[in-house]
Structure 1
């Protein structure tokens, strides 16, 4: 079964992620593209098991349908592929990746005009096309033959992508600072891109976990306080100014400051938004999803700007950014983008901008965070993911969405939103959300309060109420 979630289609290798399903997905997408007179397509892949082969299988179907494929024949960060869709003025592109999912997953992210994640309407249409066909309907052309007939063109956007980011940051300020940076690609695809940018800016760069390992060293390729343990230790022990971790396909990042503290993605968003307005003099609203810190609301208010809340899924963020001409948009899972760049997450660009921020302000991240919290208060978030089976999901859906029941919380409730999941707003300014993951069989429960103890308390109350 092919069903797109918030971050594309993802499935376990050998179960639903199979050659036949990839061919059906490609044929369904090709059918949609032909109807729209879209006859060119850019395609790339990450370091996961079967990613390169899967990209070739999709390219063969596209070529078989008369669609010209620009094939990035080396591992590529997802944002580089999105950048290519934008720069080549294409209507469609795709990346073979399961991003931060476990190693036994792979998937496909589809991109549309401007280099953005495909909207729910578009992925629904692709699913509908797939449901109309069988393997007998799949048209394909051998990959090598397609290259000879120029139906598949080998393409490398690396230089253009790198040069674009270099032109977006203050390279001279970074050069003058001569920072020491430790990079953890988490066995993913960011190494070459980010290392090239940082070394061009005369940073001293060292790497860990940079070899090719389709098992990601036995860890989840998602940058978090738990998975970046070695990065934290090495930053402190070896005296680095900054530690940067990126997820499997480099569209998200995690940061370790000079003291070894993990900087939560919420704080990364706040730091960059604050920096762009206070230190660079830019202005504009901010867009966040409903599971991302309300500290952004306070910063926006402090600078006379608006903060817009949207459902989970970066396609919602990019659409709202375009609608409101927002300066920055992002989510608590570590993905963000800035006005004027691609309309999707880019961990490589975000990391480069953080390095610029340290250089321009001449302040370490810990000091900049102190500056923000002194002005706008403390915001602490608790995050949990609870697994369930199919039967459990039906029970939980009934409680939360059909019966619309919530716990008797220790804090007075102001209102409840069902925009995406169940989000309870408390009168003390805090909140809690419970929503089903769009990429994994998990119920995600996030809460934010002015201290971590209160946040954990309401999470426990939700957990106990749902009996999970």
Structure 2
């Protein structure tokens, strides 16, 4: 073993507070597994805008107690430098039901309180939206939630909110990362929590805090539609996460009494034993909640992901089977519903560049502009906060990956308030003798059937730089249809076929968007690290009077297959 690696390992073992990760490393040393040791010390788990996320294990490339303490010390140092009253305003900390989350959250609190920063720490597991809510509610300087959301069981994560209540954006990510690098070379301050309580530095967030969030949902302006909740029946799963108690409570508060929870998935369990992957988008993840819905002939089969910031739903069809709605379908249903009830001073809606263009068309139909951001709720919320005005307050934002923010109580995606809002939409339709499918059909008849798809395309290693190639050889047509405009987010310009150019007001990013004469769109995002690209496709099919949802979908699916095939054939081999 080389000397540098030996020194790294010795330094780590000397500082690691966790006997289990110490034993992991010692076992690798004893067995002479130098390749694995080198991999674990190959660098440092990267801190970005999403904070940290990685596999739990020993060494600086894993999620473990020493990495958490170093990260917290770096974050604390950055907060003390950036926010003058951080010590008093403090930080809100919560955690999910994964293995180690409790310990990681408590370690975080011990480090920050030792640095003189007040901490409000949840006394039990908490849905992620409750932590984001807490930053806003307490006017805290920051928030931290220990969660890996819907990742596999072996993962954990560390997510950071800034003082405005939204996830961090540049330059805070790199600023915090630099402070973590410094902290990793120094002694980490640490205070036992009992001492922190005695010194007035630690405040437990007990049941009364959870009640505050509950009351917030109960009184939220956008959740006051109490039309016929008794007409709605739904099955619900927390997917072995932390959402069940609050989800069932806020539904009951809103008058929904026919709620059937999946018992086998109701309690937090970091092993996620009944699903291969605790993500509602994954095949099979919704099977148990759909089975529960069938048992009761319920209208909806609803799910939160394990930290309850995402919401998924399958809707009963006429034949008694259930069909999962896409994130875009739920997003446009919410947009239409919320705008139809919105007050004149609360009509700001937004989505991301890779989500359906249908929300902007619905917004235009209501006489309002929508905003569009780069992918990720950090952008949706920070832009939403910036654009919100007294006469044009934030109403709704979504991204296609099952994330929704309904109203302005929480500046992040919130699967709990979204669950209530969707049940209320369903009830309003049921009172008129209509279904979710009827509303979707109405929207599609007005705007066209919008179908969205994604594809990840592996390129040969010798393929030229795809972004540079596409910029040097801009396509004039894709398949049979002319390209009418091209957005280049690297150059921040939109170029039209007639030569006209407009500026784009977004952060620069290596993304190209092509809009076609038939209303279709493809977004190309090259990978910065490997020979592949991710493509996001959209086709729009007008619905005729003779069309049903099924026939329009069949035609759109056919058009999508032809579009993807034509586009991929046009790429350099």
TM-score, scaled to structure 1: 0.90
2:560 to 440, 455, 459: 455
Deviation at 1:423, TM superposition (A): 2.6
What are the equivalent positions in structure 2 for 1:52-451 lying under 5 Å apart? 52-156=102-206, 157-168=209-220, 170=223, 173=226, 176-200=229-253, 201-208=255-262, 209-216=265-272, 217-224=274-281, 226=283, 227-259=285-317, 260-280=322-342, 284-325=347-388, 326-361=394-429, 362=431, 363-385=434-456, 398-400=465-467, 404=471, 409-410=478-479, 411-419=481-489, 420=509, 421-435=511-525, 444-450=534-540, 451=556
- Aligned residue number for residue 44 of structure 1: 94
Distance 1:2 1:286 in 2: 35
Structure 2's unaligned 5+ residue stretches are 1-43, 389-393, 490-508, 541-555
Secondary structure of 2:190's counterpart equals coil
Q: 1:83 to 1:397 in 2, by over 3 A?
A: farther
Deviation of the 1:190 alpha carbon: 1.1
When residues 219 and 463 of structure 1 are mapped into structure 2, their CA distance, relative to the original with a 3 A threshold, is farther
Flag structure 1 segments of 5+ consecutive residues without an equivalent: none
Kindly indicate whether structure 1 or structure 2 has the higher relative contact order, using CA contacts under 8 Å at least 6 residues apart: 1
Change in 2 beyond 3 A, CA 1:85/1:367? same
Q: Distance in 1 between matches of 2:463 and 2:97?
A: 36
Q: In 1, Cα distance between the equivalents of 2:407 and 2:464? A: 37
Larger radius of gyration between Structure 1 and Structure 2: 2
Q: Is 1:72–1:154's contact at 8 Å kept on the other side of the alignment?
A: yes
Determine if contact 2:218/2:250 at 8 Å carries over to the other structure. yes
* Aligned position for 2:37: none
Contact 2:49 2:169 in 1 (8 A): no
8 Å contact from structure 1 (residues 255, 263) kept in 2: yes
- Identify if the C-alpha distance between structure 1 residues 30 and 453 changes in structure 2 by more than 3 Å, giving closer, same or farther: same
Q: Given the superposition, is the C-alpha separation of residues 51 and 274 from structure 1 closer, same or farther in structure 2, using an over 3 Å criterion?
A: same
Q: How far did residue 258 of structure 1 move?
A: 2.5
SS at match of 1:277: helix
Aligned length: 463
**What whole-Å deviation, never above 9, does each CA across 1:223-249 have from its counterpart, x for those lacking one?**
226232333343244311222111121
**Contact kept? 2:242, 2:307, Cα under 8 Å:** yes
Do 1:186 and 1:247's aligned partners in 2 also have CA atoms closer than 8 Å? yes
Using the alignment, how far apart are the partners of 1:463 and 1:229 within structure 2?
33
1:25 aligned onto 2:71: yes
Cα offset, 1:79, TM superposition: 0.6
Instruction: Find the residue that maps to 1:187 and give its secondary structure.
Output: coil
- Report the counterpart of residue 9 of structure 1 in structure 2: 52
2: CA distance, partners of 1:249 / 1:6 = 18
Secondary structure, counterpart of 1:322 in structure 2: helix
Tell me whether 79-88 or 163-172 shows the greater mean CA deviation: 163-172
Q: Distance in 2 between matches of 1:215 and 1:436?
A: 34
Question: What is the TM-score with the length of structure 2 in the denominator?
Answer: 0.74
Distance verdict in 2 for CA 1:453–1:137, change over 3 Å: farther
